[in-house]
Amino acid sequence: MAIVIEEDKRTATLISVAGWVAVLLFIAVAVYYVFFKRPDIIDERVPPHFEKVQEVSGINLKPETILDDPRFKLREMLVPSPQPGNLGRENPFLPLDMIGQ
């Protein structure tokens, strides 16, 4: 005698079909808003301090007028330039106990 177990045959119920339609609709709306919808342009008034930026950006700076000025040339160096020193070992791959040899 053989034991036969039949699997339940699931029929598409109205709830499962509605669930799948809702999931697909959600994905379609998300794809539309992420990839195809243009963002709304926000009208904002330019703050007053940004208007002064245009005035400042129009100034032509000439570094040679500062560098050739005698007052600039008279200034003294308060911080000395760094001197090149001994930068490490000759052979960095030698073990530390062979440094003196």
Print burial letters for 4-43: b (CB count within 10 Å at least 16), e (below 16).
eeeeeeeeeeeeeeeeeeeeeeeeeeeeeeeeeeeeeeee
pLDDT band at residue 32, thresholds of 50, 70 and 90?
very high
Question: How is residue 36 written in tokens?
Answer: 């195809």
> What are the residue boundaries of the structural domains of the chain, listed by start?
13-37
How does DSSP classify residue 100? -
Phi/psi of residue 22, each to 5°?
Answer: -65, -40
d(CA 92, CA 95): 8
For the stretch 37-87, pLDDT in tens is: 887 777 777 777 777 887 888 888 888 988 899 998 898 888 888 888 887
Q: What is the pTM of this model?
A: 0.34
Residue recorded with tokens 């090149």? 84
If phi > 0 it is left, if psi is from -120 to 50 it is alpha, else beta; for residue 39 that is: beta
